[in-house]
Structure 1
Amino acid sequence: MDPAAHSLTLSLIGGGFVAAALHTALPTHWLPFVLVGRAQGWTGRQTLWAAAAAAFAHTLSTATVGLVIIAAGLAIDHWITGLLPYLAGGALLGMGGWYLWRYSRRPARGVGAQAVAAERTTGHGHAAAFWGLIVMLAVSPGEVLLPLYLGAANAGVPALLALTVAFWAGATLGMVVLTGFAWAGSTALKLERLARYEGLILGLALIGLGLVVLFHPH
């Protein structure tokens, strides 16, 4: 690799790390983890673990789409980047609807702290919430990052792998840091009084985020 190409590749990798980290500032990359984590009664560590796992899935889907675009040509780019945001929005709407449905099935009165705790510690509920968050980002690759794959296409497989690692590191750092800050803020607000209504609040919030994703210009 000549010096000019090497310099370009390094610039793309560094830019990929920064772009991935900045990309996670979108609320869909951290707010659902705080909302779901509180609703499920997760610890801060469990919530951050979910964010880190979702960052890996997000990077994997971005890399997959990027490689598909390189292999199939630019014509497929418009189709893929136009479809997947709707899948992500649909996942958010589905999770929000699930929480509203679960909230509607709770007894209207006499729900004490023990009942709320029992609801939170249901194993199936934890698994569904965790994998729902993973799928939400897995079907929503970082579209803003895809052009960087095209820029590194001629640099060879090692450069593409390095770019993918940079995406993963930036996305993980951004999502974990932002989720951690948001989690600490929500804990400081002492929201225990809202425990009875958090299923309703969570469902409406996730549906709101889903609508933003669906109707935001892509």
Structure 2
Amino acid sequence: MNALITGSLTLSLLHALIPSHWLPFITIGQTERWSYRQLMTVTAVAGLAHTISTSLLGLLVSLAGWQLAENYHDLSERAIPLLLLALGLWYLMQHVRHRHVHDHIDATVTRKARSFGTLLLSLGLAMFLSPCLEIEAYFLSAGAKGWQAVLLVALIYNVVTLSGMLIMVTLGRHGLRRIDPHWFEHHENLITGLTLVGLAVLNFFIEF
């Protein structure tokens, strides 16, 4: 259970801190001259849409873990670390190919929609339709351990990711934007990939 909590917390923090989860809100807010309240409202709504869609997908994945509960030992020792490793290698391949596959917010949103209400709906929909797949390995593991574990993973992911996004947007509005985030944007696939590979290696030695 410790590895399950640690892994879920690590990936949730990673997603909250990576610029694609908070920088677009700051830049769009600046362009549209949003107030701080409007900026936080959009971030909260879009972030919640994102975590809810990820959690809903996670609930479906957890059903597979529940079906495999009888073989949980093999699942925790082999399948889940291998899934994390495969995801990590996929992100590293995307980094090598220089493709930003994890940009949740399409730039065309800002060109097609100008009113606050329309932008709010567009950004929320964009985030809802782009669930994060990395955390799903932990939903799979949680499903094999029971619904309490599934709810724990969902709670960790929703609270940490949403809180982190709001904090980063607040910091960005008050001066963090002066720091060039392009290195992190350019290397976010590398960071994600290395994190997933590290978690896979860790979980080869520590049972979920």
CA distance in 2, matches of 1:19, 1:47: 25
C-alpha change, 1:91 and 1:32, in structure 2 (3 Å) is closer
CA distance in 2, matches of 1:127, 1:95: 13
Matched, 1:171 2:185: no
Deviations 1:5-32 (A, max 9, x none): xxx1x54234323321221222220111
Counterpart pick for 1:53 among 45, 58, 63: 45
Give structure 1 stretches of 5+ with no counterpart: 1-7, 100-123, 190-208
Matched, 1:131 2:121: yes
Counterpart pick for 2:151 among 125, 139, 161: 161
C-alpha change, 1:159 and 1:187, in structure 2 (3 Å) is closer
C-alpha change, 1:91 and 1:188, in structure 2 (3 Å) is closer
Structure label with greater radius of gyration: 1
Please tell me the residue identity of whatever aligns with 2:168.
L
What value does the CA root-mean-square deviation take over the aligned residues? 3.7
Matched, 1:98 2:112: yes
1:72-91 pair list within 5 angstroms: none
The answer to whether the 8 A contact 1:36-1:129 is kept is no
Tell me what 1:13 maps to: 5
Tell me what 1:27 maps to: 19
Tell me what 2:138 maps to: 148
The answer to whether the 8 A contact 1:29-1:175 is kept is yes
TM-score by length of 2: 0.61
4+ residue runs over 4 A deviation:
86-91, 186-189
CA distance in 2, matches of 1:91, 1:176: 16
Of all paired residues, the percent bearing the same amino acid is 24
1:173-212 pair list within 5 angstroms: 173-185=163-175
CA distance in 2, matches of 1:87, 1:32: 15
Q: Give the drift of 1:187.
A: 8.2
Q: Secondary structure at the match of 1:51?
A: helix
CA distance in 1, matches of 2:36, 2:148: 36
Q: Secondary structure at the match of 1:143?
A: coil
Q: Which moved more, 1:172-181 or 1:44-53?
A: 44-53
Q: Which moved more, 1:150-159 or 1:10-19?
A: 10-19
Please tell me the residue identity of whatever aligns with 1:61.
S
Please tell me the residue identity of whatever aligns with 2:55.
A
Q: Alignment length, in residue pairs?
A: 156
Give structure 2 stretches of 5+ with no counterpart: 66-78, 91-99, 180-184, 194-208
Please tell me the residue identity of whatever aligns with 1:63.
S
Q: Give the drift of 1:68.
A: 2.3
C-alpha change, 1:17 and 1:28, in structure 2 (3 Å) is same
The answer to whether the 8 A contact 1:61-1:138 is kept is yes
The answer to whether the 8 A contact 1:24-1:175 is kept is yes
CA distance in 2, matches of 1:23, 1:134: 17
TM-score by length of 1: 0.58
